[in-house]
């Protein structure tokens, strides 16, 4: 069976139908792939922004905890100093 051809409307060259179909399929698949890749890229950018926001919240919480611990430590140290001075002033046994 001879290969079927079509004639290019621009140059008049004979083009095998299989080549035309494979080209159309390739273009269609490439378009689908490009669209899918773009959607994935957008999703990744959104996910990255979400992760950055979460990391920022965690860092803020960490700083708040460190501040609370520091304040409690300072308050406890002052309390122990006052108690030590009191004991030193009045003696341990009374």
Tell me how crowded residue 69 is: count the other CB atoms within 10 A of its CB. 10
β-pair partners for 5: 16
| pLDDT, average across residues 36-53 | 98
User: What 3-state DSSP class applies to 16?
Assistant: strand
Phi and psi at 70, nearest 5°, equal -60, -45
pTM score of the predicted model: 0.54
Is the pLDDT at 81 greater than 80, yes or no? yes
Token pair recorded at residue 26: 């390739």
pLDDT for the residue 15: 82
pLDDT for the residue 64: 97
CA dist., res. 10 & res. 58, Å (int): 63
| pLDDT, average across residues 57-65 | 98
pLDDT for the residue 92: 61
Phi-psi region of 91 (alpha: psi -120 to 50; beta: other; left: phi over 0): left
Highest mean pLDDT among 17-21, 67-71, 80-84: 67-71
């Amino acid at each position: 069976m001879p290969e079927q051809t079509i004639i290019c409307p621009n140059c008049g060259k004979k083009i095998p139908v299989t080549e035309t179909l494979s080209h159309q399929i390739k273009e269609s698949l490439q378009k689908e792939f490009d669209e899918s890749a773009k959607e994935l890229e957008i999703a990744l950018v959104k996910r990255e922004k979400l992760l950055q926001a979460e990391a920022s919240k965690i860092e803020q919480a960490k700083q708040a905890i460190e501040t609370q611990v520091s304040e409690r430590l300072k308050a406890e140290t002052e309390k122990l100093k006052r108690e030590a001075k009191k004991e030193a002033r009045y003696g341990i046994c009374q």
